[in-house]
Structure 1
Amino acid sequence: MNQANQARVEKWKQQKVAEWEKGGKLKGKCKTREELQKWMQGQIDKAQKKLFAPKKPQNVVSGTSNDDPEVTWEDQKRINAYGRLNQRMMELDDEIKDSKNLVQESDDAEQDIDALLDDDACKIKIGEIYVQTPNEDALDFVIAKKKCAKEHLEKLMAEKKELVTKMETLKVILKGKFGKNINLDPNQDDEDHLVPEEKRAS
Structure 2
Amino acid sequence: MSLQMLPDGQETPDVQVSWEDQTRINTFSKLNSRLSNLEDEQKILADEKEYLEDVSTEIELIDEDELVQYKVGDTFYWIKQSEVVERLEKDSEKTEESLILLDDKVQSIKDEMEELKTALYARFGNAINLER
TM-score by length of 1: 0.58
Query: How far apart are residue 119 of structure 1 and its match?
Result: 2.6
Provide the C-alpha distance between the structure 2 equivalents of 1:164 and 1:90, rounded to a whole number of angstroms.
11
Quote the sequence identity (%).
28
SS at match of 2:95: helix
1:108 corresponds to which of 42, 50, 54: 54
Q: Which 4+ stretches in 1 moved above 3 angstroms? A: none
Match of residue 161 from structure 1:
107
Match of residue 125 from structure 1:
71
2:19 corresponds to which of 37, 62, 73: 73
Q: List runs of 5+ in structure 2 lacking aligned partners.
A: 4-10
Q: List runs of 5+ in structure 1 lacking aligned partners.
A: 1-49, 51-61, 187-202
Match of residue 145 from structure 1:
91
Query: How far apart are residue 117 of structure 1 and its match?
Result: 3.3
- Residues 55-76 of structure 1 show CA distances to partners (whole Å, capped at 9, x for unaligned) of xxxxxxx93xxx5221000000
Alignment of 1:38-77 (within 5 A): 63=12, 68-77=14-23
**Aligned CA-pair RMSD:** 1.6
- Contact 2:69-2:79 at 8 Å conserved across structures: yes
TM-score by length of 2: 0.88
Residue correspondences, number: 123
Rg larger in structure = 2
Match of residue 13 from structure 1:
none
- Contact 2:68-2:84 at 8 Å conserved across structures: yes
Match of residue 41 from structure 1:
none
Query: How far apart are residue 118 of structure 1 and its match?
Result: 6.4
- Between Structure 1 and Structure 2, which shows a larger proportion of strand residues? 2
SS at match of 1:101: helix
